[in-house]
Chain A
Amino acid sequence: MDIDQQLQLAVHRRNFLQNSTTGMGAIALASLLKPEAFAGNEQSVPGALKQLHFAPKAKRIIYLFMSGAPSQLDLFDPKPKLTEMTGQDLPESVRKGQRITTMTSGQKNLFCVGSPFKFAKYGNVGMDISELLPHLSKVVDECTFVRSLNTDPINHDPAVTFFATGNQQPGRPTMGAWLAYGMGCSNADLPAFVVLTSGGGGQTLQTRYWGNGFLPAQFGGVQFRNAGDPVLFVSNPPGVSSETRRQLLDATNELNQQALRNIGDPAIAAQIENYELAFRMQSSVPELTDLSTESKETLDLYGATPGKPSFANNCLLARRLAERGVRFIQLCHRDWDHHGGLPKGLPTKCKETDQASAALVLDLKQRGLLEDTIVVWGGEFGRTAYSQGEIKPDNFGRDHHPRCFTIWMAGGGMRKGIIHGETDEFGYNITRDPVHVHDLHATLLHLLGVDHKKLIYRHEGRDYRLTDVSGNIVNELIA
């Protein structure tokens, strides 16, 4: 293979972030063997899998992660029994000795507390939606509600890590990283996995929640930031114009080509290509993140204001990323952890997110993108039927509850307008169709055309996968 062949190869590399000199080299090269295999074939993907396992119903996921855990009892799963029993102890026959956090395990009483918010039924299925979510109530027929989600951990850090990676302790790749690794990105100029954060206070975020785990770093989520460069270091230094950068890059490339000619190391060819990709990003990223090009109608639909960071802006940006083929778009909105002050705190959070979440579903739909985009909305666990601390007319709180909680999804091959699963009259235990986090992961991968048992990576002698050794596809959720 001579230098020109190598350069030609480099130019053919079309996988953003997927050129590596260890570990993933094989994949990068494999993709070079049959570049034509990726053209116009729905089944093939530019990631390690190369071929999908099933015909995909969706191509990408927008995951709206509500950090801190919203209360299902006040938003999606009303329990008249709790209202009736407010101020009375949760019967032990309900709790059955199940563990609770040390924030409430010392409380003398676990008093039931009903929701102070009004519920009404919406959509053909008659889904109960709280008055706090007026926008969501209008798109119920597009959504799939799961009231029987459940998870293992009872504290935030391990629970978010578990939702993200299928394991409570750090070290495993996140779902987005798995997809970036396995499926790549259909857009050569953008990362496969993008993260957008909003809100402040409450529980913290950690980069681990979108980390690569034991996969090479290029598969980790790339944070698009609210201030400064949207992507780190995408702007030229002050005083360096785009023309100047082009001149400098030309010189860099010419000198690197000399090195390639002389040394022959394919890593040099990869670097040359990466500098070209980087240069393209310098114009494509600002264009992508500039919301001012959106129509007033669209901005109003989301409640977005260009230049003013918000969850709404991030939802709109998520749609733009989806349009451009990004595989996994993860939004994190903070401060849903209502141990106290729920009657005031929850409405605030809902106001920040309701309109934009519903707008995202509507906007994707009207652009024909909802067909192959899955939107997921939910927290890391649910909240308790009993109050943390005293119950006052205008103030009470709910502790962490992993045994059942509600999420909703829309689009991408999900069965529309259904409610899956059921909880007992206290909203404490699941009475029908439990869906574990592993099951949700398996189902989402399935919709993307991936067998969760076959998206694996060998690390330290063991084959790992997102769903660990569990996970059942929930067929009832699939259209």
Chain B
Amino acid sequence: MLHISSTFPLAVLLLLICSQIAGGQVVEFDRDVRPILSEHCFTCHGPDAGKLKAGLRMDRKESVFSRHESGSTPVVAGILAESEMVRRIGSQDPDEIMPPPDEGKALTEKQIDTLKRWVQEGARWTDHWSFETIKMPSVPRENLAAGIISNPIDSFVLSNLRSAGLSQSPREAKERLLRRVSLDLTGLPPSILEVDDFLSDDSHKAFETVVDRLLGSQHFGERMAMPWLDLARYGDTSGYHNDSLRDMWLWREWVINAFNANMPFDQFTIEQLAGDLLPEASIQQKVASGFHRNVMTSDEGGLIDAEYRNLYVVDRIATTGVTWLGMTVACAQCHDHKYDPITQADFYKLYAFFNNVPENGKDGVRDRNPMPYLRVTTTKEEEQLRQHESELSAADGKLAELTKTLAEKQTVWEKELVLGDFASSLPKPFAHFPLDENGNGTGGDGHPIVAASHGESRFEEGSIGKSFHATGKEWFEYGDRFGFEKDQAFSVTSYLSVQPKGGAPFGKMNDKDGSRGWDIELHGLRPSVHLIHRWPEDLIHIQADEDLPAKAFTHLAVTYDGSGKAAGLKLYLNGVLAKSSVKKDNLVGSIHTDTPFSIGRRGESSALFHGHIDDLRIFQRELSPLEIASVTAAETYKLIAIPTADRSKKQSEQLEKFFRQTMVPELAVLQKSVNDLRKAKEDFERSLPNTMVMSEMEKPRETFIKVRGNYDQDGIKVEASVPAFLPQITNRIDDKPLNRLSLGQWLVAPEHPLTARVTVNRWWAMLFGTGIVKTLNDFGSQGERPSHPELLDWLAADLMHDWDTKRAVKQIVLSATYQQASQVSAALLARDQENRLLARGPRQRLDAEFLRDNALAIGGVLNPKIGGKSIKPSQPEGTWEINEMSGYKYEKSQGLDLYRRGLYVYWRRSTVYPSFVTLDAPTREFCVSQRAKTSTPLQSLVLMNDPVFVEAARAFAQRILAEPGLDDASRVTFAWRLALTRAPTATERSILTRMLEQQQSTYRKDLESAKKLVAVGDLPKPANHDDSELAAWTAFSNVILNLNETITN
């Protein structure tokens, strides 16, 4: 089994490299030597100035070939004996040998040999391949392996295959090819009709016709968006800590639309990095700039703002680095990069581009988008919004007009009052209890009322003078006074300071006789009024809609008109009619009781009051709102006597407020209408979709190098600029600092060596499973070299002509290389397990979202709607429970939304949709350029048992059974074609038939189990279905949806 070792991916390449060298090829610096230097020397002799030893930089030509202070020269071309490097790597002396033994990076014999040969052969130095300007290489015309050449891609591939002694595989069977390309370009399988069309099209353009159709499908945009969402760490939540909900789906929709409209990739880049900075930026361009707002943010209590804002900027650089440069720029946050020529200063120059967003480290919101965000509306919504605005402004105008006249009116009123007897304008009290030193009061007739005192009553600081402090143990009784009947009008007013323990401050109620009587009662801090004949049926009960403030005096008044109806019972707080709710309105019998009226409690034992009571007045009639206000304001009236100039600010305000509340009732009406309109407008605005966008602060923040990456340690100041080792921005129009727009334009400038290579390589990986450069996110010196360097440059140069995404993708799938059969012989597998040489067609398991889409599509229930808000399909209960801080509940979507594509599934970063995680989806907490593709038993459990997949199987079964005029044998064929495009082989048919018959027999015998199985999911069942038959076919479909061929492209 030794040959298996050659299937190690690295080993394949090494083998190739070694055989090439051994085969007499010249050592190539960039291919053979630099990787050795990078891995074994750069840590101490590389870009990191902080770690540099002996001033020697093995990544710099001038340093490698020049004489150093020691007197020696590391490399003298062609002369081994004079090259210090050769001496040191071959030394046996532990103090001399390089790399030093304690670094643990010893060179192998083969590596030493390669370095020596390089010196011997003349030590030719070239720069790192990916930093070199992209030049269109010539297409190989000779020395190709035998095969079909559809376009230049094949020439490059065949040229390599010939060197490796391999040949192209035959073209894939049409059914399989159609399935592959449909899943690759749309994430969805072809329909039977599309299969038949393709099979019957014999023209040489047949495949191209299919590809054009797929590129024109709206699902193409969805398919292309999915990996882009991984790069953009797209999430529907903030990620950190309580993981607040946010709305970014408009940005997602923008991405889908951009791919569908075939927006050139350079524009696609610029709008996402700096759409907001484009001249006269459109709404959509601003939406696009949300790319860099989807960083994770935090609202954790206690966090230090600067620390987190720093994280957000760093994330933007890291993400930009991986997405466009294919490099780990973020390594230079704390020190110069160890392997690539990115200095710490370079990092903070990039930092300056992203440092001017008007955002906070503590994002401060948990139920909406943090600033800055942008509302995105339809024409109709804009019209509605204008309507709201004009109504509000009209009402505001009226209010302002009225307000203007008030000062004068108040002066007139004050004069009149001073002249007249304002005391007479106070309603005459029936009885008055000042509660300043005891429970005694005065009746309406002027006679004293003496209280029977119980417990040790205390009098403390009150609203007017002192107040009675009740703790549940003391009260006053007054015999049969205030024994109102239900047809008698009365009013009660008092200042109350309440506590959460609540209770009834006063009342006359018989606890033993169905609570007959009347009272005010605090349930907690919320006041109620009861007029009761018999609890709990025969009574009126109203309750305020809001709590009173705890431990502060509120003036509370109740008026009753004697009507016996709840509508006649009103509650005023601080002189203003309070919003209240009718809890019961069914008073029939008498409310009179012999229980004495009490202050501090209402009856014998229940609802003892806890709090302070002050200035209680009881009237024998229903007071008007104005009278209530007067009572409330008895103290305020006294202020009028003070000359205007002598009043304190507080006194003036109190008087003005009182005048306005009591004497200008239309003011409250107008004010209310303004408030209502404002609230309606705000509610409407909040209902409108909005999305986070980038914007620049008017005064940009200054950027400093952060010492060792510490957010709170500023070093020297830097300006926005691009890394020094890459082409610089030359077309500066003025002296203004560079901004994100300059950065975006620079990334897609013709001389930029990375963006096109990185981008086309990612698309290649999407279609072939592995990139031409395997390390999609590392094009630096530690990354893997391209398997086909010229092909990569050809594709990149070609892309840069027009940045036409669809053309670039089409070109790849039209290559004969892509269209090869994916069958692999044991010999080829042993030679090239990962298919880096491309001697066969690609074969990949579908990504998480597409696995779900595929099952729903085969089941015929996929909802093809494009774009829109995220959906919440069925998810195991409790998934969000570990992060429930803000009380978010996962509310499952309803109806057709359940069957939308996986791309739209709600992405909560702290608790990602569980089946997706199992199927290798990233959490989207950070930028990911390629998903791992693992194969695990937990994935098998998802596909076998996740209710989503079981429901898809039932849908599939229903679809099979709904097809008219089929017997079981033709149903098997129909099902197989729906899932796999092709017809089953005889062996497959016999396995399927046997299995189906088993299930039919099982579920005919066990109807109860059948009913249970077909009850999974929300999808309606057809009328008159046979449960046993449907269950058997559901089990059958479950098998098909679990097959390796079904879950693979």
Contacts and interface: CB of A to CB of B under 8 A. Distances in A.
B918 interface: yes
**Highest count of chain A CB atoms <10 Å: which of B932, B994, B1008:** B932
A17 to B, nearest CB: 5
A206 B243 contact: yes
B1044 A267 contact: yes
A228 B941 contact: no
B595 interface: no
Interface in B915-956: 915, 917-920, 923, 925-926, 932-942, 944-947, 950
B963 interface: no
B1012 to A, nearest CB: 3
B932 A20 contact: yes
Interface stretch (B20-28, B451-459, B802-810, B823-831): B823-831
Interface stretch (B276-284, B293-301, B419-427): B293-301
A265 B833 CA distance: 9
A259 B243 contact: no
Contacts of A235: 945
Given A102-B303, A206-B882, A236-B945, A17 B843 contact: no
Interface string B991-1027: 1101100110010000011111111100000000000
Contacts of B3: 1
A256 B602 CA distance: 81
Given A251-B1039, A265-B824, A19 B934 contact: yes
Interface residues of B, number: 116
B360 interface: no
Contacts of B941: 231-234, 278, 281-282
A264 to B, nearest CB: 4
A24 B8 CA distance: 10
Given A169-B311, A171-B926, A244-B1002, A265 B918 contact: no
Contacts of B1013: 237-240
Contacts of A461: 327-328, 339-340, 775, 778, 780-783
Interface string A1-33: 110011000000000110111111110011011
Contact of A232 (B243, B338, B780, B938): B938
Given A20-B933, A22-B933, A103-B302, 4 more contacts: A170-B239, A231-B941, A248-B1039, A255-B1039
20 contacts: A20-B932, A20-B934, A20-B935, A29-B4, A154-B302, A155-B302, A208-B925, A218-B934, A233-B945, A236-B944, A239-B1012, A244-B1002, A250-B995, A251-B991, A256-B1044, A264-B823, A270-B935, A275-B937, A275-B944, A461-B339
A218 B338 CA distance: 30
A49 B920 CA distance: 23
Interface in B739-787: 769-770, 775, 777-778, 780-783
Contacts of B1002: 244, 247
A347 interface: no
A452 to B, nearest CB: 13
A17 B1009 contact: no
A207 B910 contact: yes
A29 B1043 contact: no
Interface in B281-334: 296, 298, 300-305, 311, 322, 327-328, 331
Interface stretch (B481-489, B664-672, B873-881): B873-881
Interface string A218-230: 1010100111110
B881 A271 contact: no
A241 interface: yes
A162 to B, nearest CB: 13
B379 interface: no
A138 interface: no
Nearest to B940: A278
A399 interface: yes
B1015 A238 contact: yes
A188 to B, nearest CB: 10
Contacts of A244: 999, 1002, 1035
Interface of B: 1, 3-5, 7-10, 104, 239-243, 296, 298, 300-305, 311, 322, 327-328, 331, 338-340, 712, 769-770, 775, 777-778, 780-783, 822-826, 829-830, 833-834, 843, 845, 876-878, 881-885, 909-912, 914-915, 917-920, 923, 925-926, 932-942, 944-947, 950, 985, 987-988, 991-992, 994-995, 998-999, 1002, 1008-1016, 1031, 1035, 1038-1039, 1042-1045, 1048
A99 B822 CA distance: 60
A335 to B, nearest CB: 11
A277 B999 contact: no
B880 to A, nearest CB: 10
Nearest to B911: A207
B988 A274 contact: no
Given A33-B5, A204-B884, A207-B911, A264 B934 contact: no
Given A228-B877, A232-B938, A234-B941, A241 B1009 contact: yes
Contact of B878 (A21, A206, A227, A252): A227
Contact of B304 (A99, A220, A255): A99
A475 interface: no
Contacts of B995: 247-248, 250-251
B932 A208 contact: no
A254 interface: yes
Nearest to A103: B302
Nearest to A3: B826
Nearest to B826: A1
A252 B937 contact: no
A462 to B, nearest CB: 6
A19 B296 contact: no
B198 to A, nearest CB: 21
A282 B945 CA distance: 11
B251 to A, nearest CB: 21
Nearest to A272: B1044
A108 B714 CA distance: 28
A282 B937 CA distance: 10
A171 B540 CA distance: 62
A355 interface: no
Interface string A371-404: 0000000000000000000000000000110000
Contacts of B885: 203-204
Given A102-B304, A238-B1012, A462-B331, A277 B925 contact: no
A23 to B, nearest CB: 5
Contacts of A101: 302-304
Contacts of A228: 876-878
A288 to B, nearest CB: 15
Contacts of B302: 101-104, 154-155, 399-400
Given A23-B932, A170-B925, A278-B937, A233 B826 contact: no
Given A29-B4, A248-B1038, A259 B940 contact: no
A203 B884 CA distance: 9
Nearest to A204: B883
A234 B239 CA distance: 28
A245 B935 contact: no
B1009 to A, nearest CB: 4
A22 B776 CA distance: 13
**Most B-side CB within 10 Å, residue of A17, A218, A251:** A251
A170 B995 CA distance: 47
B298 A237 contact: no
Interface string A86-128: 0000000000000101111000000000000000000000000
Contacts of B1043: 252, 255-256, 259
Nearest to A211: B923
Given A19-B935, A462-B331, A156 B1045 contact: no
Contacts of B300: 155-157
Contacts of A24: 932, 934
A463 B331 CA distance: 12
Interface in A170-208: 170-171, 191, 197, 200, 203-208
A237 to B, nearest CB: 4
Listed from nearest, the 7 A-B pairs whose CB atoms lie closest are A239-B1013, A461-B782, A239-B1012, A101-B302, A216-B932, A278-B940, A238-B1012
